Amino acid sequence: MGDHKEQPLRVGAAVRRRRRALDLTLAVVAERSGLSVPFLSQIENERARPSQSSLEKVADALRTTAVELLAAADPACSVDVVRAEDTEPLLEPRIRSLVRGHHQMHASEFTGDHDAGREFQFRNDQLMYVADGAVEIEAEGRAYRLGRGDTLYLTGGVRHRWRATVVETRLVVVAVAEHIEAVRDKPRR
């Protein structure tokens, strides 16, 4: 009762809206992402569901993040309950959105490992919390080892990468949405 109606996530429309907002052709996105035009067309028309890696490539080509595309794919509710037993992971390895819809804040739960070589840089601040297992996070030239219950805060703009160091690690990432202007104020003159 009161839960967000469960429907399959349709990321294709969000990809198309973002591509059109940037006035890009499928050919340009294909060139930037390294994916084929037919595959991108299938994604936009909901005939193919991209892997985590493919969605990240599309997001990079569209100058956004996979989290933003997933959030834009889901209608926002003012009150929403995300139940662990009712949600299927969005991508492999398991990534579960903890906040659905286009909101000011996003939260995702990563279970297992991902592309540890991929570097991230978000415009706004984020908090990484290890719910289970352990991770190693590289940021600003240092490696941070975090275990269960540990958190790491990253100011917007900090380049970082992470990897799970224990099987079935669960990492929760909470971030200010990319569409929000939450950057530091410029010094006054």
Please give the model's pTM, rounded to 2 decimal places: 0.63
Give residue-wise pLDDT tens across range 125-138: 999 999 999 999 99
pLDDT of amino acid 98: 82
Cα separations (Å) of 48 from 11, 59, 66?
10, 16, 16
Share of the chain residues as helix, strand and coil, in percent rounded to the nearest 5: 25, 25, 50
pLDDT beyond 90 at 29: yes
pLDDT of amino acid 25: 94
Instruction: Please state, in angstroms and rounded to a whole number, the distance separating the CA atoms of residues 49 and 32.
Output: 19
- Confidence grade of residue 10 (pLDDT, cut at 50, 70, 90): confident
pLDDT of amino acid 76: 63
pLDDT of amino acid 5: 45
The set of residues, in sequence order, having a beta carbon less than 8 Å from that of 108 and lying 6+ positions away, is 67, 95, 96, 97, 98, 172, 173
Cα separations (Å) of 59 from 107, 108, 142, 153, 166?
17, 16, 27, 23, 28
Instruction: Please state, in angstroms and rounded to a whole number, the distance separating the CA atoms of residues 185 and 40.
Output: 38
Query: Which H or E element spans position 179?
Result: none
Position with higher pLDDT, 45 vs 84:
45
Instruction: Please state, in angstroms and rounded to a whole number, the distance separating the CA atoms of residues 176 and 104.
Output: 6
pLDDT of amino acid 113: 73
Q: How does DSSP classify residue 27? A: H
Mean pLDDT for all residues in the chain: 81
- Confidence grade of residue 9 (pLDDT, cut at 50, 70, 90): low
Identity (one letter) of the amino acid at 17?
R
Give residue-wise pLDDT tens across range 52-81: 788 889 989 998 888 778 777 766 666 777
The set of residues, in sequence order, having a beta carbon less than 8 Å from that of 85 and lying 6+ positions away, is none
Give residue-wise pLDDT tens across range 142-188: 999 999 999 999 998 899 999 999 988 999 999 887 766 655 544 44
Give the whole-number percent of the chain exceeding pLDDT 70.
Answer: 80
pLDDT of amino acid 2: 40
